Structure 1
């Protein structure tokens, strides 16, 4: 019963639309053309939306790839930073050793001078020890200088990596903004 009522209602609505079209002077052919235009417009809008979604998806993939690379750069930067800290620590330790050796050498020189002034002509053992200490001092000075050069090189490399990370971060922020604008 409801089905027959729905069919009757549908038939009345179709008849009313047909009467309206006749009254307005619109024929069936014009309605068909209008419906085709409407369908074509919807299809084009769907295609554009689909293309924009694909473009957005590609940009999201690129953004994720850049995030991954940025994380790798950050890890590398952290590693370089730790290495630099270790080198600085070794420089401080080498500097401390150098100071201690210099103090010992100064003490030995003072003892030799006291021995020479006392008429002994200096203890040969002390002279040998002083010569050894001077050699060790030279070795430690060279190590300290090498450590300082390594530290400077590491610092330059770390600054370069930091600059790369900052540039990557700026580029990532720009792309994220573009994606938000497109959405």
Structure 2
């Protein structure tokens, strides 16, 4: 894996575990020689992951929609900063530029990115690993809900392992590197989106 997209929040929650996790992810990617693709902002976890990667000498590619440039305060320290028309183009560029996805804590936007990466994998738009770093049990309910969708039959048996979950970054990256693509519903191309 040469580059990983990291999905995370632009907020800074009071509990320092979240910012510390973002910083640890940024440093770890740089130390492993894995480039970071992320939302292009300087605030919250988004800014923390990028700053840590930059300070550790890593490649940082930001992708930010025009409308969010002033609100999220774009990060001009990125190795590359792409300003795109909207969220759809942002997520497509994340997919085009990365070899996989890591989701760390975040809010609605982070969930949108995670579920779209999973749904695109189901449909065959990509065959890349989709990881979730379950820091301090943040995603326990999401993991349980995903299992509930599997149990009820809304997620096919062939797709139950698309979402790779681990409590540690080392474990997650190891599992993502070993990911074997699943059977897709269709074989589609990103240009079909």
Higher fraction of helix: 1
Structure with the bigger RCO (C-alpha within 8 Å, sep 6+) is 1
Please report the TM-score for the alignment, with normalisation by the length of structure 2: 0.18
Higher fraction of strand: 2
Please report the TM-score for the alignment, with normalisation by the length of structure 1: 0.18
